[in-house]
Structure 1
């Protein structure tokens, strides 16, 4: 809605009953409108709206309308509307303009017109406009309108409005209680009204707003000691100036404060650069503890799905998982990895017999040599470790280049695999979604590359190994190998010449493989699972960077449902184990980036699609 339209509307609503008192009544209305506008809009928009108000007059307005300002056949005319009730056309235009105002202001106007249920309770728009016109005609007090507006702000959970109205901002000047006439007679003091609405205020303080539902628990449940206060949030609010058009003062949410509004700069990046520079210049100590991000949040307005807002949070994010729990998870995962790799030899009768002999010798107090077994076990562990090591090193190097701090990795155990993944938490916000994408993408891609090469090399070694070593090779069952369409096909091509050797055998049949081949096969599945676009996995981070939080949530839910169904229809213990562990460790989305309004560019989006397609080829069963 244009500010000139608002001025014209409120001007037309100000018609007075006589020419002689017109100027005085007009000045009173000007003051009333200015109070309401400045209390509901940002300074820039308020200044623009009120720019011509001081030179405005009923005579000038009537002249602009081509009419005499003192008389009319239909009655006294001021500002284009007759003193009689507005016509249907005028009422329709008025209701359209009022509908564009902030919600709190719409409700205040509705209650001033006698609608106790607020703006949403209006069933006849024309009748509402006429009732409002009548109230303005009868000289509804500016104090009453301000009181109604404050009540609506408090009801919406704007604690700052309560603090200002109650003089609770630490600026002195005792409380000034104001009587507000609601529904034509009931009077409420602002103090009494705030008590009646205490429940709503508490709900807002307890994060009942939908705004933060898309953000991780590590932010929403952060310790109050590290969160910004109202004064810290106000530091940002006072500096917004012409860069950001705030539609409300800072609102407390779980994890900090939000300021709703719209960006008046050319881009989100420019807005953040300007604000960061202003804060650093005026209050450098503030930047040592807090940060501002420009993000998408769920809208509390039922007519909108999400909106942009400035989010004020700590500049470091502490993982919610206790350190001892991470250490215990890592220890269990490392132990299970050794067990899984040793178990790969369990179907080799020759190996089991030699290990049994070594155990008998040890029990008798003798010495035994397991170097032959270590020569087979170590290559498998090294192959897995090398792929994962490159994966994590890539994360760290890219994060370092982006000035992002990661936690030490936590190794997650798994069902059906040596381990599920190495989980890094992000402790400081990436500057933009592109940085988050790069950090997430590089790890699993390098891990997949090493694993793919290892599988090919290991399969070649399987076909060329000498006979004595061939008798000691570990093995995987056909049913396990066919859990990956891509990796199973590669095994079939190299060992069976593409004649369907795997598909033509019983699922329990053991296929001897070189330890490097087994390490490469397992690595492909592990790193492919890291690319699954759900929660805060690496694939989930990529999805969030490409789609944003709102659409990532939808996409992630669909992928989770598809995997859940597949885990039962394909008898895949790997997928079921992944979903089980994921539900406890990675279901949250990632911490906020500084700029979450600008999504990644097309090349990164295309790379994400290719990576997800590759992961699907690896994880879809061969049969």
Structure 2
């Protein structure tokens, strides 16, 4: 009996090697590097030796997304919640990825744990995305609108407008900016942070609102959900986001312990996360 038990334990340990996670990480690294190279005007079929030029974009974006998910993972472990390592999602798109996620394998015990798990990812990702955006803007070029033909026009948040004015000395409407790949990756990181912090459903923002104002989650979640509909006429992606949230549910599942109070430090973290949402939210992210 003991020998069989030892064999079973060893088999379980062998199965725990994160082969799928590692494989997706490597594939997504190459898909984002390819996307970055294409953004630089490289034809990967004709110029495969120049694909490395996508590294600044790839490394920056992967670091932001990875830090976000590792933040969730470490907070989950610290609060006794079983969670998987991050799953990166490669994609043949402008960005080379659809992001990353972790899966919770056990219920979240109480509001303190929920809040810390909810804020950890966005704050960790923001800490990387902010300096990346600042450095990238320093490396970016200001161009006259007549020099910019085609391409995609990116929307701006309160934070991005402030950084653009401070670093480059221009407003969103006074000139066009040719973003450095690092700045573009930082822009994506800040945008993804805002998406995750939308205070509805089971998004990170939904977790935070449920922790801070349990009764208010029901109403705020529906207000935000309805508010995104008109924005969908300016950027169709909001319709997809609304549909995804609807499928996964606007209601927040109950916790094992709903009575454990938050201390002042928890509340400050939650408020910081909500402020990050306000300054990073972009109503119309893309204009083609």
Identify the TM-score tier after normalising by the shorter chain. Answer: 0.7 to 0.9
Given that residues 456 and 517 in structure 1 are in contact (C-alpha distance below 8 angstroms), is that contact kept between their aligned partners in structure 2? yes
Among 148, 154, 159, which residue is 1:486 paired with?
159
Q: Give distance in 2, aligned partners of 1:489 and 1:426.
A: 37
Among 159, 169, 182, which residue is 1:516 paired with?
182
Per the alignment, residue 39 of structure 2 pairs with: 344
Among 520, 540, 559, which residue is 2:206 paired with?
540
Q: Give the structure with the higher percent helix.
A: 2
Paired positions, count: 254
Per the alignment, residue 79 of structure 2 pairs with: 402
What is the Cα deviation at residue 488 of structure 1? 4.0
TM-score by length of 1: 0.36
Extract unaligned runs of 5+ from structure 2: 1-19, 142-148
Q: Give distance in 1, aligned partners of 2:106 and 2:206.
A: 18
1:542-561 paired onto structure 2 within 5 Å: 542-548=208-214, 550-561=215-226
Extract unaligned runs of 5+ from structure 1: 1-325, 346-350, 360-367, 464-474
Per the alignment, residue 131 of structure 2 pairs with: 453
1:192-207 paired onto structure 2 within 5 Å: none
2:100 aligned counterpart, secondary structure: strand
2:256 aligned counterpart, secondary structure: coil
Q: Give distance in 2, aligned partners of 1:573 and 1:432.
A: 36
1:241-265 Cα deviation digits (max 9, x unpaired): xxxxxxxxxxxxxxxxxxxxxxxxx
Question: 1:425 and 1:373, CA in 2 relative to 1: closer, same or farther beyond 3 A?
Answer: closer
Per the alignment, residue 238 of structure 2 pairs with: 575
**Mapped pair 1:393 → 2:70:** yes
Given that residues 341 and 377 in structure 1 are in contact (C-alpha distance below 8 angstroms), is that contact kept between their aligned partners in structure 2? yes
What is the Cα deviation at residue 452 of structure 1? 0.6
Aligned CA-pair RMSD: 3.5
1:534 aligned counterpart, secondary structure: coil
Per the alignment, residue 503 of structure 1 pairs with: 173
Higher relative contact order (CA 8 A, sep 6+): 2
Q: Give distance in 2, aligned partners of 1:444 and 1:556.
A: 18
Given that residues 458 and 515 in structure 1 are in contact (C-alpha distance below 8 angstroms), is that contact kept between their aligned partners in structure 2? yes
1:456 aligned counterpart, secondary structure: helix
Given that residues 489 and 622 in structure 1 are in contact (C-alpha distance below 8 angstroms), is that contact kept between their aligned partners in structure 2? no
Per the alignment, residue 587 of structure 1 pairs with: 249
Q: Give distance in 1, aligned partners of 2:150 and 2:127.
A: 22
What is the Cα deviation at residue 530 of structure 1? 1.1
Question: 1:582 and 1:420, CA in 2 relative to 1: closer, same or farther beyond 3 A?
Answer: farther
Question: 1:462 and 1:621, CA in 2 relative to 1: closer, same or farther beyond 3 A?
Answer: same
1:590-609 paired onto structure 2 within 5 Å: 590-609=252-271
Per the alignment, residue 195 of structure 2 pairs with: 529
TM-score by length of 2: 0.73
1:140-155 paired onto structure 2 within 5 Å: none
What is the Cα deviation at residue 605 of structure 1? 2.9
Per the alignment, residue 118 of structure 2 pairs with: 440
Given that residues 119 and 204 in structure 2 are in contact (C-alpha distance below 8 angstroms), is that contact kept between their aligned partners in structure 1? yes
